[in-house]
Amino acid sequence: MRRLTALLLAGSLPFTATAQDAASEATRTAQAEIAKRLPLDDPRDEANATRGKLAEIADGVIIGKDGKPVWDRRPYTFLGDKKAPDTVNPSLWRQARLNAVHGLFEVVPGKIWQLRGYDISVMTIIRGKTGWIVVDPLLSEEAAAAGWKLFADTVETKSGTLPVKAVIFSHSHSDHFGGVGGIVTPEQVKKDNIRIIAPHGFSEEATSENVLAGGAMGRRALYMFGSILPPGPAGQVDTGLGPKLSSGTIGYMEPTETVAATGGTLTIDGLAFEFLDAGGTEAPSEFVFYIPAYKALHTTEVVTHNLHNILTLRGAQVRDALHWSKVIDAMLLKWGGKAEVAMASHHWPTWGTGEVGALLTNQRDAYRYVHDRTLFLANRGATLHELADQTPEAPVQAGDFSTRGYYGTLNHDMKATYQRYFGWWDGNPANFNPLPPEQSAAKYVALAGGADKLLAAGKAAIAAGEYRWAAELLNKLVFAEPDNKAARGALSSAYDQLGYQAESGAWRNYYLAAAASLRGTALDNLSGNGQSRSFVSAIPTAVFFDALATRFDAAKGAALKGTFQFVLPDSKEAVSVVVGGGVEFPRYGVTDAAPTATITIDRKTLDDVMLGQAQFPALLQSGAIRIDGDRMAFLSWFALHPPADPRFNVVVP
Ligand SMILES: [Zn+2]
């Protein structure tokens, strides 16, 4: 975020399409076709997205502790135009404008409010009998604190200051708990007995899901959320699920209680909440709930105003579209006909019993279609790319914006469902063990008659508007000759048009970020978010050592043998790491009788190392780490955990 932040602080960020292509005629035609086909003027979503607005944060700017903005909507004023520019899919443009509406909104008068447009996610505040119940305090502490201040200044000034009685984490993704420290401190939670309520399995999932594979997920997330793109009509516009990620501090707090898989009713600050388990849908640990007294349904991230991801582009374990659709149907059976408003952890609410029922029905059918259509076609021999290509749109998507692929898409959700049942292989042995991309690319270039001929074929495909084919051809050339500037330029031209045409914010961002990477114009942004001690210290020690093992340099360490006994006095834990055969195996809770070396280190010191606040040699010198036994063996083993390069290449070899 550094470069972007510097530009924003300088005042404005005029978007200049340096070297980036304008929308081609084929793209303009595609945009016009979708604009003609969809009822883009349907006013209902806009009415709901603006309904009950009470106040807003001036200019949509939230400044962090270091004086830099963690959220800034000033560069997004271009979204004020109702008509989409020809560099943005008109359907995505509509969604982006809805997501851009920001402020404090009254959802149920005097009972429920939402802060929207101040992070990728939405924070909900519910009036209990004696105080406030806060649901999903955004991704970063700074954004949550600013949202809370707007609420306090607007609502509390009228009703008098009341205490926070409970915080609800609806699921285990960090955009729904990371900002909790901006609402309450751990000391307040303890002193005032504030309840922190989450679904069962929350702690394990929240602190582990992104630790082992976090490096690659983080890299891909920069592409998917468009964090390395400048805002603008030919740049970052929206993610589909929300405007973008805030860039503040991601924290964590341990729940004081969890809701079991059986769900059931809990009384929270005098108010009854009916819970339904939704684990294994959008997140491994998740619930939805209904408040009978307010006739309000919170659908978490199971039902939102887009088709969600069965497999997110940043990478994750594949989700279950069948179970997802069944949970939505269970909601429909339980609360359909009762709920007068449905609100979620993203997007705007839906009011009216009939409208809520239609929303649930359509969403259920969309996920069911993803699942059943995949297997219908797979069982007739179609493989993942074929079945996705054969299915341009689900019937429900033609008439309902909430099911359109603004974030997940029918295309990649069907591929993901294929993967869930069959894995990554399509069953064709030619694709089982192909040459790696760099090797086959060089052979394709030779087969095409050389780089110039392949480049000409790629450019001809672009001229014909065949951007997918152009990308396939030119990607071969870039992988064979990564320094070939003409090839990189042509490939980025193909990605530009694919990005402009995409209805999914995630697809658009990924294509345009790829083009920017090829051109060397991507923003120098590793991650805007600071990791907090509260989050790092919550990572289970066993996961910590499993993550360390994934960093072991097996090639250099193939001959190493030994057992390294870790003793963590402050957390009273022990881990014995057995090394041999190019593998290290951490045994959590095991104390070895005759280790090669024993390393005594506080868990807190390990956290310091992870947070970059302490260096290993200095810790050895200061005595913060004590090594007994074969010190040299330990040091040479430990040196074989090189850090991964967080800027690794994605679109070039
Ligand atoms: Zn979310």
- What is the rounded distance in angstroms from the CA atom of residue 295 to the CA atom of residue 339? 5
Q: How many angstroms is it from 302 CA to the middle of ligand 1?
A: 10
Residue 480's contacts (CB-CB under 8 Å, 6 or more residues apart) are 438, 441, 442, 444, 445, 451
Q: How many angstroms is it from 190 CA to the middle of ligand 1?
A: 27
- Which of 242-246, 362-366, 524-528, 561-565 shows the lowest mean pLDDT across its residues? 524-528
Q: How many angstroms is it from 307 CA to the middle of ligand 1?
A: 13
Q: How many angstroms is it from 136 CA to the middle of ligand 1?
A: 9
Q: How many angstroms is it from 504 CA to the middle of ligand 1?
A: 16
Q: How many angstroms is it from 601 CA to the middle of ligand 1?
A: 36
What is the per-residue pLDDT for 133? Answer: 98
Phi-psi region of 565 (alpha: psi -120 to 50; beta: other; left: phi over 0): beta
- What is the rounded distance in angstroms from the CA atom of residue 118 to the CA atom of residue 102? 7
Portion of the chain with pLDDT greater than 90, in percent: 90
pLDDT interval class at 80 (50, 70, 90): very high
User: Could you tell me which residues are beta bridge partners of residue 135?
Assistant: 124, 168
Q: How many angstroms is it from 344 CA to the middle of ligand 1?
A: 9
Q: How many angstroms is it from 139 CA to the middle of ligand 1?
A: 9
pLDDT interval class at 12 (50, 70, 90): very low
* Average pLDDT along the chain: 94
What is the per-residue pLDDT for 65? Answer: 87
Portion of the chain with pLDDT greater than 70, in percent: 96
Q: How many angstroms is it from 78 CA to the middle of ligand 1?
A: 25
Q: How many angstroms is it from 171 CA to the middle of ligand 1?
A: 8
pLDDT digits (tens, 9 = 90+) for 52-72: 999 999 999 999 988 999 999
Mean pLDDT of 540-546: 94
What is the per-residue pLDDT for 18? Answer: 45
Q: Is 575 helix (H, G, I), strand (E, B) or coil?
A: strand
pLDDT digits (tens, 9 = 90+) for 454-471: 999 999 999 999 999 999
Residue 406's contacts (CB-CB under 8 Å, 6 or more residues apart) are 91, 92, 95, 238, 240, 241, 305, 306, 307, 503, 504, 505
Q: Is 552 helix (H, G, I), strand (E, B) or coil?
A: coil
Q: How many angstroms is it from 346 CA to the middle of ligand 1?
A: 7
Backbone angles phi, psi at 123, to 5 degrees: -110, 135
Directed axis angle between helix 505-519 and helix 214-224, to 10°? 100
Q: How many angstroms is it from 558 CA to the middle of ligand 1?
A: 42
Q: How many angstroms is it from 300 CA to the middle of ligand 1?
A: 8
275-279, 314-318, 545-549: range with highest mean pLDDT: 275-279
Measured CA to CA in angstroms, residue 83 lies from 41, 89, 399 at distances of 11, 11, 20
pLDDT at 16 over 60: no
Q: How many angstroms is it from 33 CA to the middle of ligand 1?
A: 31
Mean pLDDT of 156-172: 90
Q: How many angstroms is it from 313 CA to the middle of ligand 1?
A: 14
Q: How many angstroms is it from 94 CA to the middle of ligand 1?
A: 20
Q: How many angstroms is it from 100 CA to the middle of ligand 1?
A: 16
Name the token pair of 488.
């990189």
Backbone angles phi, psi at 552, to 5 degrees: -65, 130
- What is the rounded distance in angstroms from the CA atom of residue 109 to the CA atom of residue 113? 8
What is the per-residue pLDDT for 646? Answer: 85
Mean pLDDT of 122-139: 97
Sign of CA dihedral 482, 485, 487, 488: positive
pLDDT at 2 over 70: no
Q: Give me the amino acid identity at 514.
A: A
What is the per-residue pLDDT for 4? Answer: 34
What is the radius of gyration, based on Cα positions, of the chain?
Answer: 26
pLDDT interval class at 5 (50, 70, 90): very low
Mean pLDDT of 606-614: 89
Backbone angles phi, psi at 19, to 5 degrees: 65, -5
What is the per-residue pLDDT for 215? Answer: 87
pLDDT digits (tens, 9 = 90+) for 176-219: 999 999 999 999 999 999 999 999 999 999 988 778 888 899 99
Residue 556's contacts (CB-CB under 8 Å, 6 or more residues apart) are 640
What is the per-residue pLDDT for 615? Answer: 87
Directed axis angle between helix 437-447 and helix 451-463, to 10°? 90
- Please answer whether residues 100 and 238 qualify as being in contact, where contact means their C-beta atoms are separated by less than 8 angstroms: yes
Q: Is 4 helix (H, G, I), strand (E, B) or coil?
A: helix
What is the per-residue pLDDT for 527? Answer: 65
Measured CA to CA in angstroms, residue 181 lies from 77, 187, 248, 252, 269 at distances of 30, 11, 11, 7, 21
What is the per-residue pLDDT for 528? Answer: 62
Q: How many angstroms is it from 221 CA to the middle of ligand 1?
A: 14
pLDDT at 425 over 90: yes
Q: How many angstroms is it from 173 CA to the middle of ligand 1?
A: 6
Q: How many angstroms is it from 4 CA to the middle of ligand 1?
A: 24
pLDDT interval class at 3 (50, 70, 90): very low
Q: What global pTM score does this model have? A: 0.94
Q: How many angstroms is it from 75 CA to the middle of ligand 1?
A: 23
Mean pLDDT of 351-367: 98
pLDDT interval class at 129 (50, 70, 90): very high
pLDDT at 27 over 80: yes
Q: How many angstroms is it from 35 CA to the middle of ligand 1?
A: 28
Q: How many angstroms is it from 407 CA to the middle of ligand 1?
A: 11
pLDDT at 19 over 90: no
Q: How many angstroms is it from 314 CA to the middle of ligand 1?
A: 14
Q: How many angstroms is it from 287 CA to the middle of ligand 1?
A: 13
